Structure 1
């Protein structure tokens, strides 16, 4: 209805504009006449120049008419703008309505096709479900028979389980009694072990006493031998005889004690043997009990497995029955969906009728707008030429940009090389500054030491020396000076500072031989020679100190060089990494730039233009559509009498849709549907992959939990085994302990048994 009302509004507005223009023209004519009437009456006082008066009158008329013409032109321009804005709005509204109708029509056709496909799929599913229903009914009868059999077997097994439970209770009572007896035996064994420990301690004490008594006996024997020898040498007396008697009595008493201790040891060994026999008997009883418990566990496991199998079969049958019920419910739901789809088909057909009516109205309006589009085609051609010129300019600018980028790259490379050289020179400069500072500090310290030494040497040393020591002083310094000169010559090869000191040595060496020609009889000459020799000695000492200063540690320099090389290697690696990263980023930017350029070239060039250019585009499209018989035009120009509103018939036999038009419509709509189908397929694939990955992740998490639990159990078992191995038992006892752990004996009770066995093994070893 809006589309019908829109052209009516346009017509009314056009009529109002025409009326206004007519009224304005009439008003202008009346004004002209009035002006003429006003200008016609001539004053009484007529001037002498009537031609000038007429010229002035005509000029005033012309000025008035020009003003009126300008006003009319302004009104016309305003009316044209208003009319163009109205036309543009109507065009936009018509285009939007057209697009919406096309999309609705396409969606309706798509829904219809989908409904047809669903109907076919549901029909096939219905047939398959009916077949499955028949098969499942046959299987149900079989399952019912199987269920009755299984119920009977289940009841029979339940009765067997009740009997087995009673037997288990009996065995539990027997086990409890055996446990009580074992506990009592353990307590008894603990008491005996404590008693044995006390006996061992007493035996050790007795052994110590025996050893002491043996030592005393040996000492007494030695004394006895000495006394006998002394008695043989000396005549016997009564006192010696009495002492011998006392010693013999003590010896006899000690022998009696020894016999008593040996008897006690024999009794204790017999008791140990009896305790070992009791222990072996207890172990046999425990092994028999364990074997019986293992047999009972195996029987219970078999019965429990049978029970689980029966329950699984029951659960499978119940799940199958549930599947049958769900399938029947699905069939009912599918039938309801079929009915709804048929209703939707009727609704969609009614919508298509309404859409065809609206499309025919829109087509008539569209043909009117095509006339305006022809005028804009010329403007579009001019704009296209301008666009081509702009493209050529853009290409030139791109070439210039490439050349500038190449120059920039070359400049960057040069800058990097210069920067590297600058960094290396700065590092060398810093290192040289640090070395110079260290050398200055060392030089200052050494100069201070030398000043102190000079001050000490300047004190008068040779005040008390006689004239006899003069020639010795003259001859002796020549040898060390020569040696020092040689050493300085050798050291001057290492560095430059030693050259000056070698020159000083040469000066002093020249001064020394010249002193031989001076007469030696005067004391003044002798004093001068002594002073010269002292100065030479001081200079030699200074040279030695300075040479030692210059000999810098080479190891420190090597370490510094290695550190600097490592730093350079790291910096080079960083620079290479940054260069690679920058190249990758530039490649990405170039690729993105190319993509944007292709998008801009392929995209509509008038996407961001004004409404006038849009109207020009529409006129061009209308021209092309008029030239080539468009498909939608054939649809829209169809007779509107195809719909019979009284009856629910869609199309009459007088004007049926041709096969060619239907195929063209289907081809156009297929291209629209393909995009949506592709999107739906990708979404389904993503959902399927997620559904597949979720159970894998869940199973992995459950497996990880199970593995962690198994690892913990294994660690506990290993810990227990390590505790058992640390006890120092035999292989047989260890295997017995492991079997007891497998049987389910508590580790604390097993630890107590192990302690008892260890104490027994120690007693047996002793």
Structure 2
């Protein structure tokens, strides 16, 4: 649109210029005609007379009037030309301004192109860095997957080994049960050893105090190590932050260099603008001079037209560059979107890597736990084998133990340093087991007390209901006896009276009247007797069941008491016998582990027995509560019927 408008202006200016040239030519022709007329008038004045002169003067005046009209019209035309000149000057100013604006736009477009190129290069660098990071992350993921498969294989092997060790342990348990029967009769002799073990317990308490002190020192050391590790991590983070700051400084230096180059370009452009302004002032002076010379105006107009054509070409090029810029912007927006997608994918990959790292840590922790379990199981297997080998010799060497204990006191003092680590673990485990057992026993005793209370309440209710039922039975027997007496009296009266013919009809009627109540009474009496018998039988059955359940409950309570005593005894024996020496070999480690395994096995057996008996007790109590509810319902139904 801008090109078309400038072309129309050029056509108008050409037309105006041609009209001005025609007007100048007409002016010159009219001036020549006036000079010729004046020259023709002078000889006529000399030759002809006065009359002819007057006519010619009139003609000359008419011509002069015409010439004045033409002069006036030409002055008006000159004014129009001056006005057109002013307009052309204004248009020149506008064209120069437009040229300057076009130059500025061209510079801005080139700057934007350079910025876009720089952004594209930076974006390509970032994309390459992201691709490298993605490749590294993929490598880490592959390593994590390989580690995961390796750990899974190790875990499967360990599970297989655990199963085999469990089978061996079960076999050893079965073998050990036979040995337990042989060791029971030696329990009486262990009572004599308790005095010596009490002294050992005091010694163990002192050791536990020392061990607690050592634990506190270890905890403090671990805290110091954690603080050192945290400081190391903070130093690493500071180093990374400094590296990032150095990179940012380099980027800022590059940007400052670019800004300085742009400032230099701006100063250069300002100098060019100053030179252009000086040129513009010179052009104004030259334009004032070119008013006189039309030829110079034509040349300047031709130059202006050439400049306009060049500027139109430049404007077209700038528009094409602008279109290219828009295309580049769209490409840049697409690349931004792709970069966002890459970032999202990278965030997802990092999240997956974090999850896999967590899983690997969990697997490692599980692996460590399994290794510890494997170690413990191997130790227990070895110890069980040693137990099996030593249990046969213990039966023969129990009589020699009392003499060996006195000799072993000096030996224990040297062995305490070796047993500290073992005591820590054993004491922790056994204290936790004892606490759990104590909690279970307290809960079971509470439940048993509650059940005893319920049984007592139910037995009281049953006794009350039995009394009520006995009272109702007595009342029913009284009523039955009264009814039987009435029947007997009625039968005696009927036998005393003679059957006369006059009174035959009356006796027949009376017998009929008497038969009706007997018939109506006998089924009610039988049903009452049957009901009484049923109630008595049910009462007897339920009283027998209640007695059985009470006896069974008392037995369970006694067994629980016995087992609680056994637990206390075993705990005392365990705590006292941890530092006892082996019965065959002067090696204390075998003895402590044997005692620990024996106590654990017995505790497990007692726990299993108590759990089974508690289950049976619960079942019996549930049955008892159901039967008591049924008895209550029957008693309520009988009371409602009465």
TM-score range for the pair, normalised by the shorter chain length: under 0.3
With normalisation by structure 1, the TM-score equals 0.20
| Richer in helix (by share) | 2
